A and B are shown apart, each in its own frame.
Chain A
Amino acid sequence: MLIKKALYFLRRDFLEALSYRFAFFLQLGGVFFSILTFFFLSQLFGKNIPLLKPYGGNYFSFALIGIAFSTYLGVSLGSFSSSIRKEQIMGTIESILVTQTPIPILILFSSLYNFLFSSLHVILYILIGVFFFGVNLEVNFSAAFIFLFLAVTSFASVGIISASFIMVFKKGDPFTWVFSTLNGLLGGVVYPVKVLPQSLQKIAYFLPTTHVLEGMRMAVLKGYSLKMLVPEWGFLVVFSLVMLPLSIYLFGKAVRKAKKDGTLIQY
């Protein structure tokens, strides 16, 4: 039944997205131009940058993986809260909450399409990178898959906490703001963490983005196995194990507060 529900959520969101055809295809087209910007930028740096040697030395492939997989962070942070806000604005939130599906499932499945669409983005980023711009990949698929899974669980937990803020305060979620700013700045998306001052590198160590991107780059660009990436996936496992239950607990509390205050449908 859960799979069926997941499929129906995907179907609902796909049909809705497809009904705005122009926006749907425009989003996909945007990927190409975003890559193009970084391709031209990489021409400034040449092919062998010492700081990027662990990743093959090429800035373009480094940035490509960073941008591609950081889209998951954006989706995770924004998707849960935006799904709730969307249902509130559309007026459908009470209709789905009065059904027999538990609230955590409703929230998770409401964001499923966004995750899937992001995966399509990631695949497109990599395919365009490989076929149009000659990026060399040495993929360790099992490691890449595990890092993808851990990226989703780590980022999703942060996203669910953000959704809890939206449920109670409706707008102005400081958690997302702080988290996305820190991750964009210190997570190693478009430059390696090593260029940061020592003090900031210490902060970067506690951000999941740092470990997701490090692990993913090594698995996709250098073919590293899971054995060689224990510190990265170890951090993400601990992060997910602590944050995911905490986020679901906080979300449950937020829904209860909204039900108590009568603000479930307010936005």
Chain B
Amino acid sequence: MNPVICENVVKDYPLPRTFKEFLLAPFKEKYIKALKGVSFEVAQGEIFVLIGPNGAGKTTLFKIIATLLLPDKGKVTVNGFDVLKEESKVRKSIGYVVNEERSFYWRLSGWENLKFFAVLNNLSGKELKERVSQVVELTGLGDWISRPVKDYSTGLRQRLSLARGLLVSPSLLILDEPTRSLDPIMAKELRRFVKERVSQDGLTVLLSTHNLNEAEEMGGRIAIIDKGVIKKIGTIEEIKKDINRKKRYCLEFSVPGGLSSLDITGFSLLGSEGGKYRAEILISEEKLNELLRKILDKGGKISEVREKELTLEESFSRIIGKDMSNAD
């Protein structure tokens, strides 16, 4: 059985009502749909990346898997345990790494924090000391561990969060936007660490992000989620291939009468020199042939036609229908 199975998960959040709405219909609740029938499975030892813009439903889904939220409909099992009926068994096998800097007791040392969370996870005695030392070493917290958490940088707090997530020796590690507030070097280091845990300890990893490069670098399967719906699931190559019916082409051509005579839209002009144009265009193969014919019919010349691979960012933008070029 796969460690994570989500079947048709639905989650609605109640919305606050205005006083007028309450008076007119006291029992009529208003809801916002956070998840609209999400289904997927994650295999043992897999890195599964959930990628989507803010408000897509990533955190909601992770919180349901971590037993912090109840789904309205559908079924979620973690390592064979139902999140609704066997909460404590689910929690025993997961490490949940929240991207919340304030999820620690800031006036206590990292060491005290880890010991406290270890005890809450039923570790004690020698096992507790050994496990805390192990995760401190694994995450490279070093001497910082004896300093109060309030003195930590964001990166150190994220490492501490990771250390806490690993305390229970989980078989499933859930990382909710773990690199959101990290600098690129720290983020890369964290990704390397997580991949190492997967290859060395056989961990299954569920990771959410809105960073496309991160999703690509993690190298596992990707699920693109938007507005509570999973739009695509597959490897990066599969996702790109699946939506690559339209391709990006680089053209170099000249045409008497200039570009306006071609009557085309949706291209980016990269430059022009001596009546020669260099442009990029996102277009299907048939449409490209039409365009090329038009150029030749108008007495123009084509010096270069080159296919350019779509970036994951472009693929992602096309799937969710938004421009993600500004997303980090």
Per-residue CB contact flags for chain B residues 107-134 toward chain A (1 = under 8 Å, else 0) read 1100010011101111010000000000
Tell me if A12 and B69 are in contact (CB < 8 A). no
Does B195 belong to the interface (CB within 8 Å)?
no
Instruction: State which of B60, B96, B112, B117 has its C-beta within 8 Å of the C-beta of A262.
Output: B60
Q: Does A1 contact B (CB under 8 A)?
A: yes
> 1/0 per position for B88-106, CB-CB distance to A under 8 A?
1001101010101111111
Give which listed residue, B14, B60, B91, B101, contacts A99 with CB less than 8 A: B91
CA distance A96 to B112 in the complex (A): 14
- The one of B115, B148, B168 that contacts A8, using a Cβ cutoff of 8 Å: B115
In the complex, the chain B residue whose C-beta lies closest to that of A17 is B107
Contacting residues, chain B, for A227 (C-beta < 8 A) = none
Inter-chain contact A15/B107, CB cutoff 8 Å = yes
Chain A stretch 87-137: residues in CB contact (< 8 A) with chain B: 90-92, 94-102, 106
Quick check: is B40 within 8 A (CB to CB) of the other chain? no
Q: Is the CB of A261 within 8 A of B120?
A: no
| CB-based A-B contact count at 8 angstroms | 91
Contacting pair A92 B96 (CB below 8 A):
no
> How many angstroms between the C-alpha atoms of A96 and B66 in the bound complex?
12
State in angstroms the CA–CA spacing of A12 and B106 once bound together.
Answer: 11
Residues of A within 8 A of B (CB): 1, 4-5, 8, 11-12, 15-16, 19-20, 90-92, 94-102, 106, 256, 259-262, 264
Known: A98-B96, A102-B88, A256-B70. A1 touches B105 (CB 8 A): no
B13 (CB) vs chain A CBs: closest residue: A262
- Is A15 touching B96 in the complex (CB atoms < 8 A)? no
Chain A residues positioned under 8 Å from B100 (CB to CB):
91, 94-95
Pair B107/A100 contact, Cβ less than 8 Å: no
Q: How many angstroms between the C-alpha atoms of A97 and B103 in the bound complex?
A: 11
Expressed in whole angstroms, the Cα–Cα distance for A262 and B35 within the complex equals: 13
Could you say which residues of chain B place their CB within 8 Å of the CB of A260? 69-70, 72
Question: Which residues of the partner chain B approach A92 to less than 8 Å between Cβ atoms?
Answer: 102-105
How many of chain B's residues have a CB under 8 angstroms from any CB in A? Answer: 39
Q: Nearest 10 pairs between A and B by C-beta?
A: A91-B102, A99-B120, A19-B107, A8-B119, A95-B103, A101-B120, A259-B70, A260-B70, A98-B96, A100-B121
A-B contact pairs, 19 of them (CB 8 A): A4-B124, A12-B105, A12-B116, A19-B108, A19-B148, A90-B105, A94-B98, A94-B100, A95-B103, A97-B68, A98-B68, A98-B96, A100-B88, A100-B91, A101-B122, A261-B13, A262-B13, A262-B34, A264-B68
A12 contacts across to B, CB distance below 8 A:
105, 108, 112, 116
* Residues of chain A lying within 8 A (CB to CB) of residue B179: none
Tell me which residues across on chain A come within 8 A of B34, comparing CB atoms. 262
**Smallest CB separation, A258 vs chain B (Å):** 9
Chain B residue, CB-CB nearest to A109: B120
Residues of A within 8 A of B204 (CB): none
Q: How far is the CB of B4 from chain A (nearest CB, A)?
A: 16
How many whole Å from B323's CB to the nearest CB in chain A? 29
In the complex, what distance in Å separates the CA atom of A90 from the CA atom of B122?
23
Known A-B contacts A5-B120, A100-B122; the reply to A90 vs B60 at CB < 8 A is no
Contact flag A100-B119 (CB < 8 Å), given A12-B112, A259-B69: no
Write the chain B residue with the least CB distance to A262.
B13
**B67 at interface, CB cutoff 8 A:** yes
**At the interface, yes or no: B164 with Cβ under 8 Å from chain A?**
yes
Q: B122–A1 contact, CB under 8 A?
A: yes
> Interface centre among A16, A94, A95, by most B CB within 10 Å?
A95
CB <8 Å contact, B117 and A99: yes
Question: How near does chain A come to B299, taking the closest CB pair, in angstroms?
Answer: 64
Q: Which of B60, B66, B115, B122 contacts A98 (CB 8 A)?
A: B66
Contacts of A20 in B (CB 8 A): 107
Residues of B within 8 A of A15 (CB): 107-108, 112
CB interface residues, B 1-35, toward A, < 8 Å: 11, 13-14, 34
| Interchain nearest-CB distance for A108 vs B (Å) | 13
In angstroms, Cα B117 to Cα A260, docked, is 25
CB distance from A67 to the nearest CB of B (A): 31
The distance in angstroms between the C-alpha atoms of A16 and B119, with both chains bound, is 18
B119 touches A5 (CB 8 A): yes
Measured between beta carbons, the chain B residues less than 8 angstroms from A259 are 68-70
Q: Within the complex, what minimum Cβ distance (angstroms) separates A23 from chain B?
A: 12
Q: Which residue of B lies closest to A256 (CB)?
A: B70
The answer on a CB contact under 8 Å between B70 and A16 is no
Whole-angstrom CA separation of A227 from B153 in the bound complex? 61
How far does the alpha carbon of A95 sit from the alpha carbon of B101 in the complex, in Å? Answer: 11
